[in-house]
Amino acid sequence: MGGRLTVHSEVGKGSVFTFSVLCKSHDRDCSPEPTAKPVDNRPPCNHRRKEPRILLAEDNKVNVMVAISMLKRLGFTAQVVANGVEALEAMRKDKYDLVLLDICMPLMDGLQVAYAIRNTGTSPRIPIIAVTANALRSDIERCFAHGMDAFIPKPVMFQKLREILSKYLPLPLEQQ
């Protein structure tokens, strides 16, 4: 065919293979005709899209500041409560699209809160995300046994928060 093949190899570094092939040119474009247009399955853009309502239950003020900062980077805001009793009260007063729930809180811990939310018959099922430094396998299993949907270990990493939230909420367009 009149082509050429070369190999350059160095021990311990690897090999590079290159080739060239001589082809006859054609007077017409030989690229295949597209058979179908790409399909866009996304819903139409709605600039007035309802902002998801997030409840953050966390008693540590530094953790609250970090979480709020990360949520803001993702285009979200959250209502903050400092303990489990306040979390349940907020859930009774308002509807939320997602709950970020610390496990170790005063008055009522996150496991009790999740269990209470799941047993009130709330419909539709609200995603509850555990956020805790207790990250042993047994801790994670207890979170799921109490009705939580996902688990984020502390210290919270931005990418992990983004990954988990994107499973349950639409991210703003600039974050997708």
Tens digits of per-residue pLDDT, 65-83? 999 999 999 999 999 999 9
The pTM of the full predicted model, rounded to 2 decimals, is 0.70
Whether 26 has a pLDDT exceeding 60, the answer reads no
- Domain count along the chain: 1
Tell me the pLDDT band of 36, cut-offs 50, 70 and 90: very low
DSSP bridge pairs for 17? 7
- Residue 1 pLDDT level (bands cut at 50, 70, 90): low
Q: What angle do CA 142, 80, 108 make, to 5 degrees?
A: 40
Check whether 158 has a pLDDT greater than 50: yes
100 and 54 Cβ atoms separated by less than 8 Å: yes
Residue 37 has pLDDT above 50, yes or no: no
Domain residue limits at 139 = 54-169
pLDDT mean across residues, the chain: 83
CATH code of residue 102: 3.40.50.2300
Q: Is residue 34 part of a domain?
A: no
Full strand arrangement of the beta sheet holding 78-81: 78-81, 54-57, 98-102, 128-132, 150-153
The length of the chain in residues reads 176
Q: What are 104-146's pLDDT values in tens digits? A: 999 999 999 999 999 987 656 899 999 999 989 999 999 999 9
Residue 33 has pLDDT above 50, yes or no: no
Contact 161, 73 (CB under 8 A): no
Q: Specify the pLDDT at position 88.
A: 95
Query: Is residue 33, in this structure, part of any structural domain at all?
Result: no
Q: What is the pLDDT of residue 51?
A: 86
Count Cβ atoms within 10 A of the Cβ of residue 70 and give its class: 0-12 exposed, 13-18 middle, 19 or more buried: middle
